[in-house]
Amino acid sequence: MSEWAANFSDEFYKCFIREERYKLLLSGIGVTIKVSLLAIIIGILIGMMIAMCNLSKKKLLRFIGGVYTDVIRSTPSVTQLMIIYFVIFPMIPLDIDKWIIAAIAFGVNSGAYVSEIVRAGILSIDKGQTEAGRSLGLSAFQTMSRIVVPQAVKNIFPALCNEFIVLIKETAIVGYVGLMDIQKAGDFIKSATFIAFMPLIGTAVIYYVLVKILTLALRRVEMRLRRADAR
């Protein structure tokens, strides 16, 4: 037991303390959080627009929404990331940080899933709500934005929270475009020390803690929304 503890302590020191390698993980946490936050914002905005297209009575808008959703959901997120980073953005004459490009790629991917969540939430609202809004003289847009969407948001909030959690874990592939996130930092430590156990367990623990904190925070928000409904 004492030998195991000594080996554990030695590997921990080599992986995280020596040469201040723990700072790589701290930096990686920042990258993961930045990319995930911006990506979910972009994903919600795109998802709302695509959901409106899919619910539109115009065939062209439904076609656009359907093609977008079908293509994004049918291709791997890592392939989308590499296409956006290595193919699309090099054609744009703008100096954009890597993490922003990665966030846009994940936002585009997330938008397809958010659109289905939003569409399902809107369809869950009774048609009488729309009819009531129109009878009060509101336009279709006003009825949707002031009556239907606010009610739908409460219904889809848990699903959006789950999408955010999935997004945090999906960002582990940003190392493909040279970003030093949590997973990439763990891989770097593994390569530098030739120790696999400690860096991999360390990254797993960090992801678990991040997701746990986020889950508890979002659950509190959800409980407040439920209390507001109860009133």
Position 198 pLDDT exceeds 90: yes
Position 28 pLDDT exceeds 80: yes
Instruction: Round to whole Å and give the CA distance between 159 and 148.
Output: 17
Q: From the CB of residue 53, how many other CB atoms can be counted at a distance below 10 Å? A: 21
Per-residue pLDDT at 228 = 63
**How many Å separate Cα 9 from the centre of its chain?**
35
Position 131 pLDDT exceeds 80: no
Q: What is the pLDDT of residues 2-24, one digit of tens each?
A: 778 888 899 999 999 999 999 99
Residue 179: pLDDT band (50, 70, 90) is very high
| 113, 73 Cβ separation under 8 angstroms | yes
Per-residue pLDDT at 147 = 80
Question: Considering the entire predicted model, what is its pTM?
Answer: 0.90
| 222, 156 Cβ separation under 8 angstroms | no
Per-residue pLDDT at 208 = 96
Q: What is the pLDDT of residues 147-166, one digit of tens each?
A: 887 788 888 888 998 999 99
Strand intervals (E) in 16-129: none
Q: What is the pLDDT of residues 51-92, one digit of tens each?
A: 999 988 899 999 999 999 999 999 999 999 999 999 999 998
| 41, 197 Cβ separation under 8 angstroms | no
Name the residue among 162, 175, 153 with its Cα closest to residue 48. 153
